[in-house]
Amino acid sequence: MNELERSAGNASQWQHLRTPTDQRALFDRFGAMAYGVILQILPQTHLAQEALLDVFTSLSLSSFSTSSTSPALAIIRLARLKALERKARTSEPDAASAEPSSSAGRFSPEFIFDLSFRQGYSFDAISEQLDISKPEILKAVRNYIHLFRRS
Amino acid sequence: MDIQNYISSGVLEAYLLGLASEEEEQDVQQMKVLYPEVSAALNELEIVIEQYCLDNAVPPPPGTWELIQARTTGKEIKKRDLNGQEQQKNDEPKADKPAYLEVEVSDSFIRVHRLWRLAFLIVFILSKIFLIAGLYYYFKADSQQQEIERLKTVIERQQTVR
C-alpha cells in the first residue's frame, strides 16, 4: 500500500490525535508536505517554521478525525490557513502582486491559483479585481490542478 | 442538474483546497451524499491534490519536532494549571487527583524559572569570594608561621651566644 492509498483510505485511524505518538506519526508523515505548502505562501524559512509549529500544535488538528476528507487534505488546508494567518500578522497585503500579469488578455490558471490558494484572496475579491466571473475562476483553479495532473 | 457539468465546474477542487465558501461546501457535501459520481470524483481529486503537495514537499528544518513537543507540553501545563485554579475556586480538592503535574521529558534539557538565573549568579559570585578569601588567609597564616619559626631561631641563637 503506497502513501496515497494509506492516507486517503481511513480517516478514523486519526482519532485521538492529541497523544504524543499519534502527533509524531502525523508529523513524520505529513510534516514535509505541510512545510512545502507553507513555503509556497511564506518563503521566509523562519516564518514558515513558525507556521508549521502552529499547524502541529493546533487544536483543530484533532477535528479532522470527524471530517469527511482525508488527513492529508485536512493538513493541507490547515497549513494554508496557518501560513496565511502568519503572513497577515507579519506583513501588509501586497497589492502589487495582485496586478494582472496575463498574456493576450486572459488570466492564466496558475495566476488565479496563486491569487486564491497562495495569497488568500477570496473568489469575490479576484472576480472584482480582475473583472472575471466566479465560474471562470473556479474553472481556472480546476484547470491548474488538471494541468499539474497531466504533466 | 447536470452532474458532469457540476463536477467539471471546479467547485470540487475549490472545496478540497479549502477555497470554497461555506454555502458551496455544504452544497458539495450534499451532492457527495446524493450522487456517487461526485463522491468518486472527490476521491480521485483528493489523490491528485495530495500528489501535487507531496511533489512540492520540503523537509522541515532540524529540531522542528522538538519545538512542537515543547510547545505542546507548555500548552498542557498551562491548561492543567488553569483547570487547577478553577477547581480550587469552586470546590474542595479531591483526594484521588494528584497534586503534581506529570511532565514528560524526552530530551536532555530542562526548563526552570528565570529567577534561578539570579540564584545561580549569586551562588557563583559567593563561591568566588570565599575562594579568594580562603586563599588569602591560607597564605597569610603560612607567612605568619614562617615568621614565628624565624623568630624562634633568632631567640635560640641569642640564648646560645649568652
Query: Tell me, what's the pLDDT at B58?
Result: 92
Expressed as residue numbers, the domain containing A40 is 3-90
pTM as predicted: 0.61
Low-confidence stretches of chain B (pLDDT < 50) are 92-97
What CA–CA distance (Å, rounded) separates A125 from A122?
A: 5
What CA–CA distance (Å, rounded) separates A139 from A119?
A: 18
Is residue A22 domain-shared with residue A81, that is, in the same domain? Answer: yes
**A97-106 mean pLDDT:** 48
Instruction: Give B107-150 as a DSSP string.
Output: SS-----THHHHHHHHHHHHHHHHHHHHHHHHHHHHHHHHHHHH
Assess whether pLDDT exceeds 60 at residue A100.
no
Shortest CA gap A121–chain B (Å): 9
pLDDT digits (tens, 9 = 90+) for B35-68: 999 999 999 999 888 888 888 899 999 888 888 8
Domain termination residue (choose one: A50, A71, A90): A90
Is residue A85 domain-shared with residue A121, that is, in the same domain? Answer: no
Q: Is B73 within 8 Å of chain A by CB?
A: no
Is residue A67 domain-shared with residue A100, that is, in the same domain? Answer: no
CB neighbour list of residue B31: distance below 8 Å, 6 or more residues apart:
B6, B38
Q: Which of A1, A80, A138 to mutate to test the interface with B (most CBs of B within 10 A)?
A: A138
B60–A8 C-beta distance less than 8 A: no
Is residue A85 domain-shared with residue A141, that is, in the same domain? Answer: no
What CA–CA distance (Å, rounded) separates A81 from A51?
A: 9
How many domains, in total, are found in chain A? 2
Assess whether pLDDT exceeds 60 at residue A88.
yes
What CA–CA distance (Å, rounded) separates B23 from A149?
A: 28
Assess whether pLDDT exceeds 60 at residue A43.
yes
Query: Tell me, what's the pLDDT at B102?
Result: 53
List the single range of A3-17, A116-130, B82-96 with lowest mean pLDDT: A3-17
Where do we find the cell 482519532? A15
Is residue A54 domain-shared with residue A23, that is, in the same domain? Answer: yes
B58–A68 C-beta distance less than 8 A: no
Please report, for chain B, the start and end positions of each structural domain, with discontinuous segments joined by +.
3-55, 61-111, 113-162
